[in-house]
Each structure stands twice: as structure tokens, then as C-alpha cells.
Amino acid sequence: MALLTARKRLLDTLAGLKPDRIPVYTLIPFGLEDGRFVPGPFHGYNDIDDWRRNDPLYMKLVERMDRECDNIFPFKPFCLDEQNVFINPENVNTYSKSDDGSRVTIVYEAFGLYKNEVYQKGSGHKWITKHFCKSAEEALMLVEQEYSGLQYDMEPESKIKELGDRGISWCTIPSPVMSVCRLFEPQDFLMFSAMYPKEIDRLMETAFLRTREILKTVLEKTSSPVIRFGGAEHATPPMMSPYDFDRLVYEYDKPLMELCHSMGKMTAVHCHGNIRHAVRRFVEMGVDQLDPVEALPWGDISLEEIRQITKDRITLTGNIQFSEICSESPGDIRERVRDIVRKAGPERLIISTTGTPPEKITQRQFENYNAMIDEALGYRI
């Protein structure tokens, strides 16, 4: 069989067809500049300086991705940023302040409520140190404000065109549970979902209706073949029960995924953690791709069990932990690739990592990324 382009290889894999070899995707963030790959921030995690481009090892890996890997270019439409689902951008006042020269705090204010994001210079580290709402009442106050929605910004489409045959794009959107959860401190969301179910249900319904409305426009205009949902991990154990997952994820995400499928798009889900219950629901929801597939000992289910449940219906993308890239030897990483192929089977599989580099790449990480790529490139189907 002649070698396929990365785009064709990924699309065949996602469709359950047999490609020429197992795709390999590093999950290293990259951008597109005059048609070439350059280091860039992952969607939704904007850097405040240019540290990635100043890292020569980072640059070498991105250049190799351009030449040899099966790349997925993720982008998050501004209209579907989780904050914008509840607050129109024109109602948000933003300013920044520097703490000690190494960290910058971005302050967002809307209707007398505040959110703080802290960025670490020279790295991709970001923390939300203050969320907008301290109570369910404050969140419901936001729902009462006039909401006009947003239009899809076509700028990502030019980047998808630049990507060409070197990969595919992920159009990443927040599941309604993410938009609601991110209004609160994580522990407050868990408490409020149990104490104030009616109020949380109203917030969920609002997030669902607004997401569905904007998603219709996105689906009409984007050339991205895959719509990737983020947020399900907020409702998995030990944070929440299977009942909560069904109530907050399954019931709201399923109709959105059906809408995507009706418009000719495939669906993907990003979900860390314990997915024993979730993976069964993902099959029922018609999910086409799942990442990062954290199997035992990092999750609560083995890779063999995950494959037994998903069979030939979901493409598994993973599951080399980023911590392994940081700590193991190249030989260990090669063996991990072989182990993944043995346990998950070579079909409907994309070899990848579970996280992105949050700071400059070390020599060990550089060698391990290359070992992962080298081993994966050797698998023909």
C-alpha cells in the first residue's frame, strides 16, 4: 500500500477504515505561519510571552511533526469559549497586573463579579485563582442579563487551509457541564450540584440551549471534520457519581453530538481520569474519538477493557502519560508503544500522549518524544 497523507491516514482511522500505518500525534502545541509549523500555545491557553519559540528542542520537535507525524490542530471558537456562554464579551472589563515580575494576573469583571487568571512567564502554566460566582444565586443573576450570543469568527478556517494534508483540525467546544462548572470554584460546583439541583439544572439548560444555538452556526461554517467536546471529566469519579455523569453529561452532550453527526461531522471527547462508566456512555452517545484514554494504573479500567467496550466504534487516542515522557527512558517509551498496540489493537488507534509540555522541553523529554514517534512509525497495518 502506498503511504497516505497524514490527513487521509487520520480520517481513515477515525472512520474505522484501515490506514497504511498507525497514526502518531505528539499533542505538542503548534501554530501555522506562512504554511509551516511553528511552536504555538494550545487552544484556550494563551501564552503571555514567546517561550516556546525560544526553546530549540521544542522547535526541533515541531519541525519533525511537520515532516513525519499525523497532526491534529485544535482550536476553540471564540464564540464557544465557556465564559462567553454566560457573559457577552462586551459586558466584560479586563485589566492585567504584574505580581513580582514573573507572574501576570488577568482580572475579568462583569456585573460586579470577578475572575482572576494567573500566568507564569516563560511557561504555559495558568491558574484560575478566582471564579466569577460564589453562589448559585450569583450564577442565576448572570442568566437574567441580556444575552445576544456571538457569531463564528472565520479566522481559524485560514489555519485549517494552511494545515492542508499534514493533518486534521479539532474544533473544540465546551460541554454544557464545563460552562457551568467553570463559573464556580471546583469544590463549590460539586457542593452546589448536590445541594441546589434545580438551580444547577437551570444553569445547565441555559448552557445547553446557548451552546446548541451557536454550534449550529459553527457546523455550517467550519471545515473542521471533528467537533471535540471538553468537560466530561468534571463529572467522573471521584468527583461525581455515575448518576451525576448521566444527568450532567450524557443528557446534554448526546443531543449536541447528534446535531454534529446530522451535519456530517465526527465527534470526539476529551476526558481524563476514571472513565469506566463514562466510556459505556460515550459508545451510546456515538462518540467517534476519545482521548487521552487513561487506563490502569492512572485510571480505573484497563486498556483491554476499554477496547472490549468500544470495539470498532471509537478511535482511541493515547495513552502514554506525559509523566512518562518526563521520567522514563527511550527504551521504556518504545515498550509502552508496543504495549498499547498489543492491548488496544492496531486499528482505530492513534498513539499519543496525555498532556502538553507546560514548560521548556528537557533533553530526556526530547529523546522520549522521538522514541515514541520512531516506534509508532514502524507499525504497518
Q: Which pLDDT value is given to residue 280?
A: 98
**Distance from C-alpha of 351 to C-alpha of 27, rounded to nearest angstrom:** 10
What integer is the mean pLDDT of 231-244?
96
Kindly tell me if the per-residue pLDDT of 69 is higher than 80: yes
Residues 97-131 pLDDT 10s: 877 778 899 999 999 999 999 988 888 788 899 99
Residues 145-194 pLDDT 10s: 999 888 898 888 999 999 999 999 999 999 999 999 999 999 999 999 99
What integer is the mean pLDDT of 17-25?
96
Give the other-Cβ count within 10 Å of 294's Cβ: 22
pLDDT band at 196 (very low <50, low <70, confident <90, very high): very high
Q: Which grid cell sits at 319?
A: 495513552
Q: Which pLDDT value is given to residue 57?
A: 96
What integer is the mean pLDDT of 194-223?
96
**Distance from C-alpha of 276 to C-alpha of 278, rounded to nearest angstrom:** 6
pLDDT band at 1 (very low <50, low <70, confident <90, very high): low
Exposure of 253 in the CB half-sphere (CA atoms within 13 A): 32
Kindly tell me if the per-residue pLDDT of 213 is higher than 70: yes
Residues 290-334 pLDDT 10s: 999 999 999 999 999 999 999 999 999 999 999 999 999 999 999
pLDDT band at 83 (very low <50, low <70, confident <90, very high): very high
What integer is the mean pLDDT of 194-217?
97
**Distance from C-alpha of 381 to C-alpha of 346, rounded to nearest angstrom:** 7
Q: Which pLDDT value is given to residue 149?
A: 84
Q: Which pLDDT value is given to residue 305?
A: 97
Kindly tell me if the per-residue pLDDT of 22 is higher than 90: yes
**Distance from C-alpha of 59 to C-alpha of 121, rounded to nearest angstrom:** 19
Kindly tell me if the per-residue pLDDT of 27 is higher than 70: yes
Q: Which pLDDT value is given to residue 44?
A: 60
Residues 34-55 pLDDT 10s: 989 999 888 766 778 888 989 9
Percent with pLDDT over 70 in the chain: 99
Average pLDDT, the chain: 94
Q: Which grid cell sits at 325?
A: 515522557
Q: Locate cell 500566568: which residue?
A: 119
